[in-house]
Amino acid sequence: KWDLKTAFIGQNIIYRPVLSSTQDMAHELARSGCEAGTLVIADKQTSGRGRLNREWESNHSGGIWMSLVLRPEIAPNNAPQLTLLSAVAVSNAIEKLLAIDVQIKWPNDIFLHNKKLAGILTEMQAEVDKINYLVIGIGINVNQQIEVFGEELQSKVISLKELLDQEIDRKTFIHCILEEFELLYNDYLENGFKPIQKSWVDKAYKIGEEISLKTPKKNFKAIFEGIEHDGSLLVENSNGDIEKIYSAEIDW
């Protein structure tokens, strides 16, 4: 049994050495009624996935690959707030445990020295006005040598081991994330999104700078101004108008 100081986040842990994706197993468990806070962890994933249908290279060990099931009583429109909350939880854990400052690249990449350290993928099962469940997938590059990544990725990603030149105890790290997560989650359910929004903006990558966006409608450059209460991105376009962006590919 793990010595974990939470009331429910991570109190039910399912560990498998290899899975297709921890997301798939978490969905299965959620559909069959598992309790909120259930966590699926794997050492390797044969078909890990990322946002925007991207592949998430995780068929090697050393990383943290895990998925958390939640059942929040919030409007489905507000689900993106929990993705941002997750990014803040992971960042806080890294700062607490390792005294390293990281940044959050909208909506939910954790960045270190301009390279990707972690990614978060939220998947939702909802009706019009009610969330049945959420699966929050967290992938963190921890003890990998950077060579395990394909050539194309090597210049874009970073692992904690590469930075610190030492192995991190993954269990201690996971505990720390789960404890941070529960603190923020309870605060969120009680006091709303404002406190999380502030922490998120404090860590935001390239805030106030120009970024290039590709949306289904157009490609354009704009200044990254902040985030909206619903988790969307606020940018100022070249006409000086503020636009809200819900989903985009961004060239940072």
Among 20, 70, 64, which residue's Cα sits nearest to residue 181? 70
For 16-42, b where at least 16 C-beta lie within 10 A, e where not — what string?
eeebebbbbbbbebbeeebebbbbbbb
Q: Does 50 participate in binding ligand BTN (rule CB under 6 A)?
A: yes
Given the rule CB under 6 A, which of 3-11, 116-124, 189-197, 206-214 is the region that contacts ligand BTN?
A: 116-124
User: What whole-number distance in Å separates Cα of residue 49 and Cα of residue 152?
Assistant: 17
Q: Does 48 participate in binding ligand BTN (rule CB under 6 A)?
A: yes
Min dist CB 223 to ligand BTN, Å, is 24
Residue 4 vs 157, nearer CB to ligand BTN: 157
Cα separations in angstroms, 30 against 10, 73, 163 = 14, 15, 36
User: What whole-number distance in Å separates Cα of residue 48 and Cα of residue 65?
Assistant: 9
Tokens of 201: 């903006």
Per CB under 6 A, the list member of 119, 122, 157, 197 interacting with ligand BTN is: 119
Given the rule CB under 6 A, which of 65-73, 78-86, 92-100, 191-199 is the region that contacts ligand BTN?
A: 65-73
Among 185, 202, 194, 251, which residue's Cα sits nearest to residue 228? 194
The interface with ligand BTN within residues 133-162 (CB under 6 A) comprises 137-139
CA-based angle 103:106:110, to the nearest 5? 35
For residues 71 to 110, the per-residue mask of contacts with ligand BTN, x marking binding by CB under 6 A and - elsewhere, is --------------------------------------x-
Given the rule CB under 6 A, which of 49-57, 169-177, 224-232, 236-244 is the region that contacts ligand BTN?
A: 49-57
The structure tokens 């939470």 sit at 6
Residues in touch with ligand BTN (CB under 6 A)? 21-23, 45, 48-51, 54, 56, 58, 65-67, 109, 119-121, 137-139
